[in-house]
Amino acid sequence: MSLNLEQYVSEFSAQNINGEHLLQLDGSKLKALGITSSQDRAIVKKKLKEMKASLEKVRKAQEKMEKQREKLRKKEQEQLQRKSKKTDKSSLDATEGTNEQ
């Protein structure tokens, strides 16, 4: 409707075209859905291309965030291990000092 193509809404609804299905449509499938005007198909295809590019951008951003989170988790884990080793060494040194006395 935002593309001023509301005449196709009923056919898209009747065919249960949702967001996932919409992204899989190409020119021939759009034509089969009743979009006989090549101009209208071009408008829809252009918008679909923009949507796919936007989704890809979001997907890449999510992957980047996940990699950053994983890197942070790994760094925190390494810090905990180093801290644990220092604590173990300190208690071992303290035990050895007590034994010498």
pLDDT of residue 19: 85
Indicate the pTM of the whole model. 0.63
Report yes or no: 30 and 45 within 8 Å, Cβ to Cβ: yes
Q: What is the pLDDT of residue 70?
A: 96
Cα–Cα distance measured from residue 74 to residue 87, given in angstroms and rounded to the nearest whole number: 20
Domain limits of the chain? Answer: 7-85
Picking from 39, 54, 40, the residue whose alpha carbon sits closest to that of residue 12 is 40
Q: Read off φ and ψ for residue 15, nearest 5 degrees.
A: -90, 5
pLDDT of 90 > 90? The answer is no
pLDDT in tens, 35-73: 999 999 999 999 999 999 999 999 999 999 999 999 999
